[in-house]
Structure 1
């Protein structure tokens, strides 16, 4: 297997790495690489910060190992290689009445990436995280191959799911799919005039899938206003998919200037009638809306952007209100701001979700944004919440360790399978996750 030196970035494009990359196409080649030079795996690089970066080191690009290996129609269990993309599974199986149980906001995410970050979707309040639907997986550690699952090598499984790739390379996985009614989705949009209305809509929603867009520029009585989307799968004629567009160059700074973002958000809010509306869409349009704009991260300019995502417990909802007030007063927010309701927990030691509310907001890479994100992180910690590793670029090692009470359990398992630290990444080093407290 040949190594090629190259540079790569996370999706936010603020942080980058240069190092040697191997791109195996078969298990035999992957095994040879791990035997010779154990290294962490990367996929489609959809983590926003440095979770998949290993500057001045080696990484294994798993995107060529993307095959569907088997499917049991009777049980709805599909076996895939780690590099298989979630969007591919949704496209193939929706027509057969099945979907991946959990889908993140992009269909380009790989199955292994979804496991390594124990991703959540628009139905976390109903079905939990991705890892809770993994029946078993094949893990290639620096010391050899292991078959693990919730009932086999349970501790190692819990360290692997949400474990940021620190236990080994996820070669393949068996996933339990869930039934769907067809390959279209019926989406109901309702406006919330302010924060209290939004929280009330989230708390009382009975829909299978829910997600909220927040106008992060709104102030005063309109603080926290937005649009709640509730959705159910269905069958029928599929609307013609929109042709994907591409952002061909880095946008100039004025594109996301404060007056433009404010005007766009107001228009986006008012596009939904005050009485609400229901429409039928292709499944991908609801689950992966931004995938229709290739390279949309270039809209933030060549300096890139940060995303802050936190979750706070249900009894700390006023903290979210205060956060939105700070964000609105700063004038730094972009149009991309999301609020969702979460159910309890995840499948791994470092799984992000807790029962509560999760807020995600994008900011252009500017010094005031970094200061604001630091304050939001501090508020999250004080509220007993967490920040999401898949989105993080700036967090404090001390605060993060306090957010994850099972960190030492994770550290113990990681130390067993990778005692020499071959699998460390930039994020793991920055946050000192493998260092003793």
Structure 2
């Protein structure tokens, strides 16, 4: 069904959908050989949220808030509640998400299943580090209350477990206090990837991320804008509000010729030079700082009807030459887009068996789907990552080989005993065959 697809619109699959209405609903009966998979808003990339030939459990109606301790910042809500809904509740009373990815349009269940990370991993870790407990429903009707102390093995398997251990009914997690919805931001224009390494090492901000020009070469390889910020101080609590800017929308699929090597290079050059000064400082509302692409509805249509691939990997700090080689390979391919991001992961061990973040630099870029040409490029990047102690992110993957996945995630065999026998996904079948 086209209504249930992943954000990159690849692969296109056929699957049946069962809409859940209440967290107390029992799981639907299935035919022999059929499988189930929870589905939130489909904002992951690839087939981690898809179940070709099986059934998906639409969780969007599981959107009820169950308990909010405003004094302690502890929130419990059903797994289909979105981060946007949570932010609307908590920001007016002085709280914020402990970790947030680059979009607010994902469900809480999806945040846990993919153990999402954000711009503050170096000081806050993954979303899983802030979960107090959750309730897990299995297809045999059994229910597990999971926390780091209670059923910890189920907790570890479900956090980052890609929705394969059962259906999360609700999740309780810890928020962080803020004074207002503003971020004090500093943006530094850097000339190449070596300067990025120096900036990231010296940064003392809670949040940091860099936009990279994936088309730059030579002395400008890896140039970009380094954005860092902290939640604003109390004195900015009054007299500032987000302007009601008109939200942009992409109503149709862009024709293939619009996103080409020359247009992307031109955009990247203009975007890099939009900041005249070396360093710019100021106040920003949290929305454009954390979720810049959320301001463009259906931005995935920019890549055309064939969709696109997002590639995200993490590589250890001790071998920056590999990142340079990857950027050279990408630039020489002429396939990189205007959405190139690099962040720092701190030395905070992930809790989930299959969680992606680990200490190092993480690079994420989008690639328009040019078929075999693009697949060959991504496979070449996999080889570099594999040879240098890195891993690729399942939530951003649509084509990783079983060989590479099993090398990147040696805990996958430990995961097998926790997977619900009636749950599966296109991703899991592909990487464990």
Q: TM-score, normalised by structure 2?
A: 0.95
What is the match of residue 361 of structure 2?
357
SS of 1:187's equivalent? strand
Match of 1:159 among 142, 157, 160: 157
- C-alpha separation in 2, matches of 1:347 and 1:321: 30
Match of 2:49 among 47, 52, 57: 52
- C-alpha separation in 2, matches of 1:15 and 1:345: 32
2:144 corresponds to 1:146: yes
Where do residues 194-343 of structure 1 align in structure 2 (5 Å cutoff)? 194-234=192-232, 235-236=237-238, 237-343=240-346
**Pairs aligned (count):** 423
- C-alpha separation in 1, matches of 2:157 and 2:63: 23
| Conserved? CA contact 1:184–1:233, under 8 Å | yes
What is the match of residue 424 of structure 2?
424
Where do residues 72-87 of structure 1 align in structure 2 (5 Å cutoff)? 72-87=69-84
Q: TM-score, normalised by structure 1?
A: 0.94
Q: By how many angstroms is 1:298 displaced? A: 0.2
Q: What do residues 315-365 of structure 1 show as CA deviations (whole Å, max 9, x unaligned)?
A: 121111110011111110110000000013322000001100000010000
- C-alpha separation in 2, matches of 1:255 and 1:283: 31
Runs (5+) with no aligned partner, structure 1: none
2:381 corresponds to 1:380: no
What is the match of residue 191 of structure 2?
193
Structure 1's 100 and 83: CA in aligned 2 closer, same or farther, altered over 3 A? same
| Conserved? CA contact 1:7–1:16, under 8 Å | no
- C-alpha separation in 2, matches of 1:275 and 1:338: 19
What is the match of residue 86 of structure 2?
89
- C-alpha separation in 1, matches of 2:352 and 2:149: 13
| Conserved? CA contact 2:70–2:93, under 8 Å | no
2:130 corresponds to 1:133: yes
SS of 2:87's equivalent? helix
- C-alpha separation in 2, matches of 1:399 and 1:18: 26
SS of 1:102's equivalent? coil
| Conserved? CA contact 2:336–2:365, under 8 Å | yes
- C-alpha separation in 2, matches of 1:345 and 1:262: 37
Query: Bigger CA drift: 115-124 or 185-194?
Result: 185-194
Q: What do residues 196-226 of structure 1 show as CA deviations (whole Å, max 9, x unaligned)?
A: 0011111111111101000000000000100
User: After TM superposition, where is structure 1 displaced by more than 3 Å over at least 4 residues in a row?
Assistant: 34-38
Runs (5+) with no aligned partner, structure 2: none
Match of 1:391 among 386, 392, 396: 396
Structure 1's 352 and 274: CA in aligned 2 closer, same or farther, altered over 3 A? same
What is the match of residue 15 of structure 2?
19
What is the match of residue 64 of structure 2?
67
SS of 1:33's equivalent? coil
Q: What do residues 215-266 of structure 1 show as CA deviations (whole Å, max 9, x unaligned)?
A: 0000000001000100111234123142211100000122211111111101
SS of 2:105's equivalent? coil
- C-alpha separation in 2, matches of 1:241 and 1:27: 35
- C-alpha separation in 2, matches of 1:35 and 1:425: 15
Q: By how many angstroms is 1:184 displaced? A: 1.4
| Conserved? CA contact 2:188–2:227, under 8 Å | yes
What is the match of residue 345 of structure 1?
349
- C-alpha separation in 2, matches of 1:257 and 1:53: 29
Structure 1's 79 and 189: CA in aligned 2 closer, same or farther, altered over 3 A? same
